[in-house]
Structures are given as C-alpha cells and as structure tokens.
Structure 1
Amino acid sequence: MFIEVNNIKLYYEKVGSGYPLILLHGNGESHDIFDITVNILKEYFTVYTIDTRGHGNSSPVSELHYNEMAEDIYSFIHKLELDKPFLYGFSDGGIIGLLLSIKYPNLLSSLIISGVNTNPNGLQKKWLILFKIIYKFKKTKEYKLMLEEPNITIDMLRKITVPTYITVGSKDVIRENHTNLIHNNIPNSQLKIFNNEDHGSYIINSDKIAKYLLEILIMKHQKK
C-alpha cells in the first residue's frame, strides 16, 4: 500500500491485529528484512512495515536526511490515526525513532532501537574509514547520509521520556562506549547486548529480534 506524506509516497505493508507496532529498516534496505519477524509478531500486533523515503518501493529522492525521514513517519502515524504505537527501528530506523521521541515526546508508547549511533563518530573507526573510501568512489546518497548525519546531542537524548529499549550486537559496527553513552543519557532506558552477533545478524532474516520484542512488549501491551 502507499500513503502520501510530505509530497512523497511511502510504501508500507500492514498485517495482523492488535496494538499497532511499526518496524523501520536500516540504510539501503527495505521492509522485507523483517519478513521472518512479521510472521511471528502478526499474531500479537497490527504490524506496519515501511519503506523509508528513497528506499524500496517508496518515492526516490535526490538526498537523504534523517530529520525528513522522521517527519515522514510522524505524518504516517497521524494520517493513519495510530494511537501511541510501539516503534522498532534498526540502524537508520532507530535513529529515526530517536528523533521522533525527541521532537514528539507523546507520539509513541515505547521505542526499541538496535545498532544506533547519534553521530558518525559512533561508528567503529575501521568501518568509518571503509565507508569514506566507498563514498569516494560511489558517491551515493546512502553513504553520504552515514558520513554526515545524524547530529544528536546528549542534551537531546536527555529529553526522551518514552520507555526506550536499546540493543546492540557484541560484534556491532557501533562502538561499545558510544552505545553506553546513548543508554546512560536516555532516562530509564534498558540495554541488551546480543552476544556473538554483528550489526544485523540477529535482525535481518532472523527470529531473534522478534522474540526479544515479544518479551518486552507483550507485558506492556497486556497492561494497557
């Protein structure tokens, strides 16, 4: 299905029934990385998987910026009249979730993010160097985005009031001390480290993140 927001069209799929849960993919990906996850979660939630602008079946764009992507999701939630949905974001999807929770503190019921950074230096140095080399040759908007954004400050993180759950792989591209900085500056956030997992191995085409989401969200859903 398509929905028009901010003069572009976002492609999304909706399955299941129950409390709304939005899943957001990472850089250069699309909603289909969550196929296994959705098959599990649809028994418990109404699951919305979205292709962010410039990705998948959504409208192509000449440039990518996290703030614009966040505004797209804000408009999506309001156009569909979703009442304080859960939001799970992987990598870039998690950055979008952070920006939404900073700017719109009452928008979400809970935020779950995996493998996020608040600035490009949150990436391990070897990966940051590699991405710079790749961008030098390819000049793609996806790599440009990773090298220039996001720019989320500690003060911005401290404004987040929604219950926040952070996950990271023990072999992630995100620096361990950077993940700890995010966790330590989002009030009452919880951190889970997936041992022997890299940036996306427990998320893409995996049931592990679905089981984790069920573990933390079913209890909250039952309280509503």
Structure 2
Amino acid sequence: MDININNIDIHYKRSGEGRPLILLHGNGEDHHIFDALGDKLSQHYTVYAVDSRNHGKSAKHPDVGYDAMTLDVYAFITALKLTKVSILGFSDGAIIALQLAMAHPDLLDKIVLLGINLSPSDFKPHVYQEIKDAYAVNQDPLYKLMLEQPQIKLADVASVTTPALLFAGQDDCFKQSVYDDLMSVLPNAQFKLMEGHNHTDYIVNTDIIYPDVIKFLN
C-alpha cells in the first residue's frame, strides 16, 4: 500500500486485526526486516510495517533527517486516524519512535526501542570511524545522517512517560552507556540485553524477541 503524506509517497504493509502497531526499520533497510516478527504480531494487532522515506518502495526526498521521518510517521498516524498507537522501532526507527513520544506523548500507547542511540557519539569509536571512512568513499546521505544525527538531549528524554521496552545486543555498535543513561531518566522503562547478539541479528528476519515484545505490549 502507498499513502501520500507531507507531499511524499510512503509505502507500507498492513496485516492483522486489533490495536495499531507500527514497525519502523533501520538505516538502509525496509519493512521486510520485520517479516517474521510482524507475522506473529499480526495475530494480535493491526500491524503497519512502514518503509521510511528514501528506503524500500517509499519515495526519495532530499531531506533524509530524523525530524522529517518523525513528521512522516506523525502524518501517517493522523491520516489513518489511528489512536493509542504502539511503535516498535529498530535503530533509526527507534529514534523516530522516541522523538514521537517526546513530541506527542498522548498519541502513543507503548514504544519498543531496539538498538537506539541519542547522538553519533554513542557509536563505539571504531564503528564511527568505519562509517566515516565508508562515507568518504560512497557519499551516501544515509551514512552522513549517522555521522551527524540524532542530537537528542537526555534531559528532554526525561519528559517521556510512555511505557518503553529497550533492547540492545551484547555486542552492539553503540556504547552500553547510552542504555544506562536512558534507563536512568525514563520513568516507565524496561531493558533487555540480548546476550551473544550484535546490533542486528536478534531483529532482522527473526522473531526471537516476540515473547518479550508481546508480553510488554499486552
């Protein structure tokens, strides 16, 4: 399915019946990373698996920033007249979910944040350098995005009262300190460390987090 919002065509897949649950993928991916997890979640929820702008089958746009993507999801929710929405976001998608919870707290029911960061400084130094080196060669705006954004202040996160479930891989690309910081300020948050996993392998094309996610959402 496609919907035109903010003068851009956004592609998404809808499945299941129940309360609305939006799935937001990470940088350079599309909604298909959630095929396995989404199939299970759609047994209990109306699942909207969305391709962000400049990803998948959604249209390209010169503004690739997280603020623009957050506005897209807000417009998506309002255009479809969704209420008490929960969002599960991975990496970039988690940033969008958190920014929505900060800007529109009454809009959301619960958020699941998979592998989130608040700023580029949260990357482990060697990972940041790898992205920087790659961008020097490929000049991909999505790589530049990771080098410059987000810039979320921890003090602003403290205003989020939406119940949140955070995940991180034991061998994540982000420092553990970002999750410690988030847990110190989010009043209604839980944290799950995925032992033996990296940034992506407990999320992409797998449903291993389903039991934890469905328990939290229910």
Q: Do Structure 1 and Structure 2 share a fold, with TM-score over 0.5? A: yes
Aligned to 1:99: 99
- Alpha-carbon distance in structure 2 between the residues aligned to 1:209 and 1:8: 32
RMSD over equivalenced CA pairs, Å? 0.9
Cα shift at 1:188 = 2.3
Cα shift at 1:115 = 0.5
Letter in 2 for 1:84: K
Aligned to 2:192: 192
- Higher-strand-fraction structure: 2
Cα shift at 1:114 = 0.7
Matches within 5 A, 1:41-190: 41-190=41-190
Aligned to 1:215: 215
Report SS of the residue matched to 1:187: coil
The percent of aligned pairs where both chains have the same amino acid is: 37
Cα shift at 1:214 = 1.1
Deviation per residue, 1:33-64 (Å, 9 max, x gap): 01101111111111000000110000112241
Structure 2: which 5+ runs fail to align?
Answer: none
Deviation per residue, 1:63-101 (Å, 9 max, x gap): 410000000000000110111111000000000011101
- Alpha-carbon distance in structure 2 between the residues aligned to 1:184 and 1:128: 25
Aligned to 1:11: 11
Cα shift at 1:212 = 2.0
- Alpha-carbon distance in structure 2 between the residues aligned to 1:202 and 1:211: 13
Aligned to 1:26: 26
Report SS of the residue matched to 1:73: helix
Cα shift at 1:125 = 0.8
Cα shift at 1:208 = 1.1
- Alpha-carbon distance in structure 1 between the residues aligned to 2:102 and 2:126: 30
- Alpha-carbon distance in structure 1 between the residues aligned to 2:169 and 2:121: 18
Q: How many residues align?
A: 218
Aligned to 2:204: 204
Residues 94-103 or 203-212, more deviating: 203-212
Deviation per residue, 1:134-163 (Å, 9 max, x gap): 011111011000000000001111111111
Q: After TM superposition, which residue ranges in structure 1, 4 or more long, deviate above 4 angstroms?
A: none
The answer to whether the 8 Å contact 2:183/2:191 transfers is: yes
Letter in 2 for 1:36: A
The answer to whether the 8 Å contact 1:122/1:178 transfers is: yes
Structure 1: which 5+ runs fail to align?
Answer: 219-224
Report SS of the residue matched to 1:10: strand
Letter in 2 for 1:42: S
- Alpha-carbon distance in structure 2 between the residues aligned to 1:215 and 1:17: 18
The answer to whether the 8 Å contact 1:63/1:141 transfers is: no
Deviation per residue, 1:149-201 (Å, 9 max, x gap): 00000111111111111110111101011221122122221111011010011
Letter in 2 for 1:200: T
Aligned to 1:222: none
TM-score, length of structure 1 as denominator length: 0.95
